[in-house]
Amino acid sequence: MAERRRMDYSVHREILDEGAVDEMAKRSDSKPSQCEKFKKSMRCSGPRLKSCLLGSVPVASWLPRYSIRENALGDLISGISVGIMHLPQGMAYALLASVPPVFGLYSSFYPVLIYFIFGTSKHISIGTFAVLSVMIGGVTERLAPDSNFMTWDNVTNSSIIDIISRDAERVRVAAAVTFLSGLFQILLGLVQFGFVVTYLSEPLVRGYTTGAAIHVIVSQLKYTFGISPVKYSGPLSLIYTVLEICSLIPQTNIGTLVVSIVAIIGPHPQRRSSNSYLGKKLPVPIPCGIVIATIISWQVNLADRYKVDVVGLIPSGLQPPVLPTASLFGQVIGDAFALSVVGYGIAISLGRIFALKYGYKVDSNQELIALGLSNAVGGIFQCFAISCSMSRSMVQESTGGKTQVAGALSAIVILFITLWIGALFEDLPKAVLAAIIFVNLHGMMKQFMDVPALWRSNKVDMAIWVVTFILTLLLNPDLGLAAAIGFSMLTVIFRTQLPQYSILGQVPDTDIYRPLEDYDQVKQVPGILIFRSSATLYFANAEMYQEALGEKSGIDITNILSAKKKLEVKRTRHEKKNAKKAAKRKAVDMVEQKEIAIIEMDAEPDPSLPRAIILDLSPVNFLDTVGVKALRSIQRDYGDICIEVLLAGCLTGVVDNLQTGGFFNDKVTKSCLFSTVHDAVLHCKSLVLVSRCIASHQGYFY
């Protein structure tokens, strides 16, 4: 059965140039015009309208078909698990965003409900996300810094910070930037801009999240050590902050540090639930860590006795919606845009992973709109920007969540906590929340392992990872992302600028041509030079292409041409002299003169030069005018020294480019294009035969 009956590769046909192929295969000219295509895409019909409406409110299409028997139990367990995870994460990430912890709980509620209605991914857990939170934190601390809220306390005779009005201002800022980022996302979704996510390649996203995680960790060190460093913003702020923290380490609050260490090395529900056996047996993770920490803190009275910073007032109940402060929009427009792109990028990449795993589709534009609505509505309810969290999504999936219903249930759990038991956590030390963040970032730190893996598989991708990471560290997550995307695009340009130029030779007895330097047993076809670049030919490498052709072929075209020009000048002088002589001697020695001319003509093609150059253009994706000009000048220059230039393996689009670019004229027709290199080689060989024939005939006549 393993034995395969070999069919041989056997082809017998005429040599076909491009014109012959066109004739044989009847090239069709009629293509639907752009206008018609546009009309077609704009046509409106009943079913189309319905599917469009259903597409924009996905819940209407899947909820009626929700199978309670199959999904309900899984969704319930998963919803409760994720809801309980929302509690510590929401509070911890609120610290990152520099707003009171309760707003983290709000952010885990409203947006999740909105996404339930509009989202298309069944498995991602929408809500607070560390990277976005630290970006929000950058904005809030920039626009509402401590220094703006200093008041002089007459009792202690020192300046103290008016924390209440500061926090209120920060919440306003966070809500404004969140609302605006939501608007951006809706707008991008409406103009079908979901494709931007294609620029966020995997190495870039992973390098970026790792870099952002370092930002998150650094921003939490103050809670771990119980110190109050000055807040820096702008490029390089990470470095300044680290230096500041190092200088403040002697002032560490020992009580806080002890709490931190215990919290970090202590057991964690997430860690357990996702990996160990116990976690798998216990589908609902109990946030035992924060419960124990709260009880201890409350009993020992850490806050007063050891000056350990605790969460503080958690108001019960929800707050009425407030329109965001529009006057702030101007100052946060850049941050809002960065938030919208990053949030979307993270959510869609995770959503796609799950979609691939479970075989359904995530609509990238609808996701943008869903996230945008979540953020916009969230902004009105004073939430901060959300995306999806890797750790929660993993739990949601592993505990059996099958649809968006799990998300909705988790929101209800958070609502329950907010309304009734939130106030119990007022004594929770902030250091414990910081520890929770560190533990959650554990997975991201593992991404450092990407670097050696990428080093082995693809160096350019490794460069993208490392550069993205460094740019994110140095320029902060917002600017860093833009710079990293710019860099990853530049790599494409660089790649086209460092192509492999090679001379091809024939694999003996086949029609296959391979680079001479890669194979030992390929042979150059005598008198024919086959040249290939591994990249497209366009403005950024057209000149290099010409240079490489000269170098690889060993033909110094400039020298030969200038030598030829000198020769011509001499010849014209010679002819003039002869003409003068002839005028005297009249038509006596006409024959002699002719002979001289013929001898000179014959002397021209240098025997060391190839008869023909075949340019294998199969790797060329498109040609711009510069590329066409380069080819034309190659054709002309080598033509001048009697070397025929043939093109092989052009895509249909490239042939069109050649045509509209004016490559063809009276002399150069489609007959210099061949669909394969072998066709071109055979054509050259047959020409040599013919010319030898002619030469012998001529020899016969003279």
**Span 601-630, contacts to a copy of itself by CB under 8 A:** 618-622, 624-626, 628-629
Q: Quick one: DSSP state of residue 523?
A: B
Under rule CB under 8 A, residue 207 binds a copy of itself: no
Under rule CB under 8 A, residue 524 binds a copy of itself: no
Task: Answer for the pair 192, 365: CB distance below 8 angstroms, yes or no.
Answer: yes
Dihedral class, residue 129 (left if φ above 0, else alpha if ψ from -120 to 50, else beta): beta
Q: Which of 250, 508, 607, 699: binder of a copy of itself (CB under 8 A)? A: 508
Distances (CA, A) of 167 to 143, 145, 233: 12, 10, 19
In the complex with a copy of itself, the residue whose CB is nearer, 271 or 685, is: 685
CA 87 to chain centre: 33
Residues in the chain: 702
Under rule CB under 8 A, residue 699 binds a copy of itself: no
What is the x/- site pattern for a copy of itself, positions 650-679, by CB under 8 A? -xxx---x--xxx------------xx-xx
In the complex with a copy of itself, the residue whose CB is nearer, 511 or 575, is: 511
**Footprint on residues 89-118 left by a copy of itself (CB under 8 A):** none
Cα(101)–Cα(89) distance, integer angstroms: 10
Under rule CB under 8 A, residue 544 binds a copy of itself: yes
In the complex with a copy of itself, the residue whose CB is nearer, 98 or 364, is: 364
Alpha helix segments (H runs only) across 119-201: 130-143, 163-190
Task: Answer for the pair 131, 213: CB distance below 8 angstroms, yes or no.
Answer: yes
Instruction: Select the span of 324-332, 389-397, 432-440, 458-466 touching a copy of itself (CB under 8 A).
Output: 458-466
Q: Which of 203, 229, 255, 401: binder of a copy of itself (CB under 8 A)? A: 203
Q: Least distance in Å: CB of 10 to a copy of itself?
A: 5
**Bridge partners, 503 (sequence order):** 531
Q: Least distance in Å: CB of 52 to a copy of itself?
A: 19
Q: Say how many residues touch a copy of itself, by CB under 8 A.
A: 109
Under rule CB under 8 A, residue 73 binds a copy of itself: no
Q: Least distance in Å: CB of 521 to a copy of itself?
A: 4
In the complex with a copy of itself, the residue whose CB is nearer, 188 or 535, is: 535
The type of residue at 81 is: S
The type of residue at 136 is: I
User: What is the per-residue burial (b if ≥16 Cβ within 10 Å, else e) of 15-54?
Assistant: bbbbebeeeeeeeeeeeeeeeeeeeeeeeeeeeeeeeeee
Q: Least distance in Å: CB of 365 to a copy of itself?
A: 13
Residue carrying the six token digits 């904005």: 139
SS3 assignment, position 622: coil
**Footprint on residues 340-369 left by a copy of itself (CB under 8 A):** 356, 359-361
Any idea what the Cα angle at residue 260 is, between residues 258 and 261, rounded to 5°?
Answer: 65
Under rule CB under 8 A, residue 27 binds a copy of itself: yes
Structural tokens at position 356: 């691939």
Q: Least distance in Å: CB of 418 to a copy of itself?
A: 38
Q: Which of 51, 159, 562, 669: binder of a copy of itself (CB under 8 A)? A: 562
Instruction: Select the span of 129-137, 226-234, 424-432, 514-522 touching a copy of itself (CB under 8 A).
Output: 514-522
In the complex with a copy of itself, the residue whose CB is nearer, 8 or 666, is: 8
Give Dmax over CA atoms of the chain in angstroms. Answer: 129
**Footprint on residues 388-417 left by a copy of itself (CB under 8 A):** none
Q: Least distance in Å: CB of 448 to a copy of itself?
A: 16
Cα(284)–Cα(76) distance, integer angstroms: 10
Q: Which of 51, 247, 251, 458: binder of a copy of itself (CB under 8 A)? A: 458
Under rule CB under 8 A, residue 500 binds a copy of itself: yes
Provide the pairing of β-strand 644-648 with 673-674. parallel
What is the x/- site pattern for a copy of itself, positions 158-197, by CB under 8 A? -------------------------------------x--
Under rule CB under 8 A, residue 554 binds a copy of itself: no
Instruction: Select the span of 77-85, 175-183, 251-259, 494-502 touching a copy of itself (CB under 8 A).
Output: 494-502
Cα(579)–Cα(574) distance, integer angstroms: 8
Under rule CB under 8 A, residue 682 binds a copy of itself: yes
* Residue 293: how many other CB atoms lie within 10 Å: 26
**Footprint on residues 129-158 left by a copy of itself (CB under 8 A):** none
In the complex with a copy of itself, the residue whose CB is nearer, 442 or 576, is: 576
* Residue 103: how many other CB atoms lie within 10 Å: 25
Cα(659)–Cα(542) distance, integer angstroms: 18
Q: Which of 14, 265, 304, 665: binder of a copy of itself (CB under 8 A)? A: 14
In the complex with a copy of itself, the residue whose CB is nearer, 251 or 669, is: 669
**Bridge partners, 505 (sequence order):** 514
The type of residue at 361 is: K
Under rule CB under 8 A, residue 387 binds a copy of itself: no
Cα(248)–Cα(641) distance, integer angstroms: 77
Cα(500)–Cα(481) distance, integer angstroms: 31
Q: Which of 507, 548, 582, 609: binder of a copy of itself (CB under 8 A)? A: 507
Helix (H) or strand (E) holding 120: none
Q: Which of 68, 520, 584, 586: binder of a copy of itself (CB under 8 A)? A: 520
Task: Answer for the pair 104, 86: CB distance below 8 angstroms, yes or no.
Answer: no
Task: Answer for the pair 644, 613: CB distance below 8 angstroms, yes or no.
Answer: yes
In the complex with a copy of itself, the residue whose CB is nearer, 204 or 347, is: 204
Cα(498)–Cα(534) distance, integer angstroms: 9
Q: Least distance in Å: CB of 213 to a copy of itself?
A: 21
Q: Least distance in Å: CB of 211 to a copy of itself?
A: 18
